[in-house]
Amino acid sequence: ALPANLLRTYCNSLFKNHPQYRPFEIYINRYYSLPPQSYAPNALNFIVSYSGNTEETISALEEANQNRLPFVGFSSGGKVEELCKMYGAPHVKLPVPYPNFQPRMGTGYFFGSMLQILVNQGLMPDTTKEMLSLAAKLNNRMVEFEKTGVALARKLKGKTPVIYASPKYKPVAMIWKIKINENAKTPAFWNFFPEANHNEMVGFTNPQGKFFIVMLKDLEDNPKNLKRYEATAGLLLEKGVESEIIKMEGNDVFYKMFSSILLADWTSYCLALEYGQDPTPVDMVEKLKKILK
């Protein structure tokens, strides 16, 4: 679901610059049953699970097949691949680059494969060259991301991270939260401006623990919304809550999203090391799967 959120943000940005393509909605489903939108006449369902064994995904796949809804499966194998072959449905085989590879590291594989299907269907422009060029630039900045991640992880140590972003980049804030949860094995939360100013901010009047707010600031956001970052940081500091504003760099939505995600990777990885945690395994998730069987 998370790569689909990023895909929606990216596609919406392309529609503005390529008016010859007709905008369409991307709906996200995180449950066992399919939403009403899956039954729309022109709907195409992406059935997504990196392992191929997520039970909610398998349930949704079975429903799509039973109701003869068009769908494409995405997985590295597992039950999703098996069922797609059985039902004669298209399946995208995702790579497992190394042992113990975790699904949270496969965002780019999901994003790229889903986007390519939309391009192949004539629904989106092909921006492969542009994305590869931007990806190379990101790769050249890896040392910089690591250094920033080390510094930020030290600030976050001993505190509960809360990530804020603009409405456009809510998916990125959510990914930060998930990376910290799974890599550093510690609680984290997310919200967005202006919503956080209407309710959540007041909760820091009487915090029951130490928090640190990371604000992902898109300089192309609405000017009125941009004023909220520094203003909120000042109000939080009055309550003893530290924060840091991180500018989302670049002029391209793809670059902004993935540069921020790379920083989230490094920050959460370094925070895991600060806590003496192995960032790779997710033991509680595996234990829950066994309980639910």
CATH number where 235 lies = 3.40.50.10490
Mean pLDDT of the chain: 96
- The answer on 166 and 101 residing in a single domain is no
pLDDT in tens, 186-228: 999 999 999 999 999 999 999 999 999 999 999 999 999 999 9
Q: What is the number of structural domains in the chain?
A: 2
Report the relative pairing of strands 189-192 and 45-48 from DSSP bridges. Answer: unpaired
Residue 288 lies in a domain: no
Average pLDDT estimate for 148-176: 98
Q: Rounded CA gap, 207 and 54, in Å?
A: 36
Catalytically active residues are 182, 198, 289
- 10 near 114, Cβ under 8 Å? no
Q: Classify residue 30 by its DSSP letter.
A: -
Sheet strands side by side (includes 242-247): 189-192, 160-165, 211-217, 242-247
pLDDT of 293 over the 90 cut: no
Q: Give the residue numbers spanning the domain of 46.
A: 2-126
Q: And the tokens for 144?
A: 């910089």
